């Protein structure tokens, strides 16, 4: 049962009906039962690890709260004990996550015995943020174990996030909301758009990218280039499509999840891109890794030593280099195991660090070259450049083998074979001419919708049109989904790309 299965939408319909039929104060129980039913449908053997993580987080949170209450007379000592309790809880959670992540390095028989729970990275990071915030006394710990379990396991976010913060989500879950017709319509619209991005665009692109990247040595550079571009759009439509579905489901219940995407391909720099892509992951690393490193006494000593030895600018640069390098190595490891993901993290980290450290030189260079950075053409160039940089990043991680990544770049240079782009070779790797034409049309639709979203609330605008136009839009979307969606006998649409993280 996944977000793109008929069984799931039957479950969703039952949960929605029960949610609004139950009294307001018990509606959180409906969400909890629905979330557990969804999780068990993925495999009952995964449930104990989810329950164990939730129990560990809940007990550690209570422990931190208890330490602070008992230690009011000696605040410093209480803080040290609270730090120990939170540290133990976090170490346990990270240890389990690391064990699951490292199964690829274990003997096959041993790895087969380790269960990989659905959404472990997402709920682990949510619980860690909860423990850190309770330790920082941002809010009081949750006393009700079942309510805390709902925060951890809420089914729209368990598959691929977003990485929820307790203070932004818990109150919405526990208080319940009343039925609102317009809100439900907006939620259904968002689900429909997510399904189109996933089934019509992403899964169609996957047919091409899996064929090409599945046999890199036999491919030309031109086919690998097209596959890299397609893989970038595929990942965006797959991941953001799931986020749209999750947001739409939550909106039906009157719950607003934190946004995870904000039209990232309109970004004009690497740093801006990561403020728009997987927003909750970037915010998590900023709050719980980057800022603690920047404000740590050890960092202050390194900054002081560097400034004294190499000058003020070197010291200021070090303030960017060390924290960002740590964040991006960890970001790479979060996305996957193996050197390819470490290199991917360093690749993005190096670009962002360089843009900060050498900002004055870059500004002087553009001035020397008489580049008007305010023109519309230069802004388009910057967006295309950012898209290209992301494509290169995809080439690093898709093969998950640095030797294959090097081979791809060699083929770009030595075996590009541009004639294959026009001699119908393009139509021999899983997609025919009609599929390619449809993809071009869908790329235009995707761009147009993104532009309208960038300029304001698209769904509010559509809601303002007359009924005939609104329903024409809905029918066209539904018909397009059923006619052009990739599904049916022999097709496995069970996995979203980020669901394995």
- Give 422-432 pLDDT, tens digit per residue: 888 899 998 88
Domain that holds residue 475: 182-257+412-483
Out of 371, 400, 429, pick the residue that ends a domain. 400
325: pLDDT confidence band, cut at 50, 70 and 90? very high
Q: What is the pLDDT of residue 77?
A: 86
Distances (CA, A) of 492 to 119, 230, 339, 430: 20, 20, 29, 15
Note whether 20 and 121 are same-domain residues: yes
The verdict on 353 and 366 lying in the same domain is: yes
**pTM, rounded to two decimals:** 0.90
- Mapped onto helix, strand or coil, the DSSP state of residue 105 is helix
Helix axes 27-41, 145-153, angle to 10 degrees: 50
Q: Do 396 and 434 reside in the same domain of the chain?
A: no
Is residue 208 in some structural domain? yes
d(CA 240, CA 265): 12
Q: What's residue 475's pLDDT?
A: 81
Q: Is the pLDDT of residue 124 over 70?
A: yes
DSSP 20: H
Q: What Rg do the C-alpha atoms of the chain give, in angstroms? A: 24
489 inside domain:
no
For the chain, first and last CA: distance in Å? 18
Strand locations in 198-340 (E): none
d(CA 258, CA 246): 10
Cα separation, 193 vs 417, whole angstroms: 37
Asked if 91 and 191 sit in the same domain, the reply is no
Domain total for the chain?
A: 3
pLDDT of 478-495, one tens digit each?
888 888 887 654 455 446
Whether residue 492 is contained in a domain is answered as no
Q: How confident is the model at residue 204 (pLDDT cuts 50, 70, 90)?
A: very high
Give yes or no: residues 99 and 116 share one domain. yes
For residues 329 and 325, give the distance between their C-alpha atoms in angstroms, rounded to a whole number.
Answer: 6
User: Is 51:89 a contact under the CB 8 Å cutoff?
Assistant: no
**Are 28 and 166 found together in one domain?**
yes
Is residue 85 situated within a structural domain?
A: yes
Same domain, 222 and 283: no
Length, in residues, of the chain: 501
Q: Which residues contact 129 (CB under 8 A, 6 or more apart)?
A: 163, 165, 166, 284, 287, 288
Other C-beta atoms lying within 10 Å of the C-beta of residue 244: 24
Q: Are residues 352 and 468 in the same domain?
A: no
**Average pLDDT for 160-169:** 92
Domain end position, chosen among 126, 151, 179 = 179
490 domain residue, yes or no: no
Q: What percent of the chain has pLDDT over 70?
A: 92
With a cut of 90, say whether residue 311 has pLDDT above it. no
Separation CA 258–CA 279 (nearest Å): 9
Question: What is the Cα–Cα distance from 147 to 151, expressed in whole angstroms?
Answer: 6
Q: Is the separation of the CB atoms in 255 and 177 below 8 Å?
A: yes
- Same-domain status, 199 and 292: no
C-alpha to C-alpha distance for 233 and 242, rounded to whole angstroms: 14
Tell me which of 30-39, 345-354, 449-458 is least confident.
449-458
The domain boundary, picked from 147, 179, 211, lies at 179
pLDDT band at 400 (very low <50, low <70, confident <90, very high): confident
- Region 210-225: mean pLDDT is 93
Least confident piece of the model among 134-138, 170-174, 493-497: 493-497
Within the chain, what is the greatest distance between any pair of CA atoms?
A: 80
Q: Are residues 83 and 203 in the same domain?
A: no
**Residues 329, 342 contacting (CB under 8 angstroms):** yes
Average pLDDT taken over every residue of the chain: 88
From residue 355, give the alpha-carbon distance in Å to each of 267, 306, 321: 14, 20, 11
Q: Residues 162, 24: one domain?
A: yes
The fraction of the chain above a pLDDT of 90, given in percent, is: 61
Give the separation between CA 493 and CA 195, rounded to whole angstroms: 12
Supply the angle between the helices 47-70 and 75-101 in degrees, to the nearest 10. 170
Residue 155 has pLDDT above 80, yes or no: yes
- Structure tokens that stand for 35 in this block: 């979330």
**Residue for token digits 């309109």?**
266
Q: Return left, alpha or beta for 488; rule: phi > 0 is left, psi -120 to 50 is alpha, else beta.
A: left
């Amino acid at each position: 049962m996944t977000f793109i299965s008929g069984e799931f939408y039957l479950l969703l319909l039952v949960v929605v009906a029960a949610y609004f039929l139950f009294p307001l104060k018990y509606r959180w129980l409906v969400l909890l039962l629905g979330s557990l039913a969804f999780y068990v449908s993925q495999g009952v053997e995964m449930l104990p690890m989810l329950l164990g993580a939730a129990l560990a987080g809940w007990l550690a949170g209570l422990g931190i709260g208890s330490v602070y209450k008992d230690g009011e007379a000696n605040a410093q000592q209480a803080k040290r004990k609270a730090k120990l309790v939170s540290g133990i809880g976090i170490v346990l959670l990270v240890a389990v996550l690391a064990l699951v992540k490292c199964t690829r390095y274990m003997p096959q028989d041993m790895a087969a015995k380790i269960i990989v729970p659905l959404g472990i990275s997402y709920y682990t990071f949510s619980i860690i943020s909860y423990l850190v915030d309770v330790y920082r006394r941002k809010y009081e710990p949750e006393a009700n174990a079942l309510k805390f379990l709902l925060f951890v396991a809420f089914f729209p976010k368990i598959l691929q996030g977003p990485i929820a913060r307790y203070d932004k989500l818990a109150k919405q879950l526990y208080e319940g909301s009343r039925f609102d017709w317009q809100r439900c319509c907006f939620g259904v619209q968002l689900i429909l758009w997510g399904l189109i991005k996933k089934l019509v665009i992403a899964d169609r692109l996957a047919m091409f990218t899996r064929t090409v990247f599945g046999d890199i040595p036999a491919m030309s550079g031109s086919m690998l280039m097209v596959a890299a571009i397609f893989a970038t759009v595929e990942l965006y439509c797959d991941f953001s499509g799931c986020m749209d579905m999750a947001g739409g489901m939550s909106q039906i219940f009157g719950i607003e999840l934190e946004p995870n995407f904000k039209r990232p391909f309109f970004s004009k720099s690497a740093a801006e891109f990561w403020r728009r892509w997987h927003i909750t992951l970037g915010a998590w690393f900023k709050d719980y890794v980057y800022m603690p490193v920047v404000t740590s006494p050890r960092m202050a000593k390194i900054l002081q030593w560097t400034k004294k030895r190499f000058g003020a600018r070197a010291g200021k640069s070090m303030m960017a280099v060390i924290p960002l390098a740590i964040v991006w190595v960890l970001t790479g490891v979060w996305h996957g195991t193996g050197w390819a993901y470490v290199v991917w993290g360093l690749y993005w980290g190096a670009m962002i660090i360089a843009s900060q450290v050498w900002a004055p030189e870059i500004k002087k260079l553009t001035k020397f070259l008489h580049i008007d950075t305010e023109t519309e053409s230069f802004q388009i160039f910057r967006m295309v450049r950012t898209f290209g940089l992301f494509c290169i990043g995809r080439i690093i991680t898709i093969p998950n083998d640095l030797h294959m990544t090097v081979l791809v770049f060699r083929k770009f240079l030595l075996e590009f074979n541009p004639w294959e782009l026009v001699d119908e070779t393009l139509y021999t790797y899983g997609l025919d001419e009609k599929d390619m034409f449809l993809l071009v049309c869908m790329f235009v639709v995707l761009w147009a919708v993104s532009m309208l979203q960038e300029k304001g609330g698209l769904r509010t605008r559509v809601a303002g049109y007359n009924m005939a136009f609104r329903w024409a839009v809905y029918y066209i979307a539904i018909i397009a989904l059923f006619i052009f969606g990739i599904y049916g006998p022999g097709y496995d649409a069970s996995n979203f790309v980020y669901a394995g993280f």
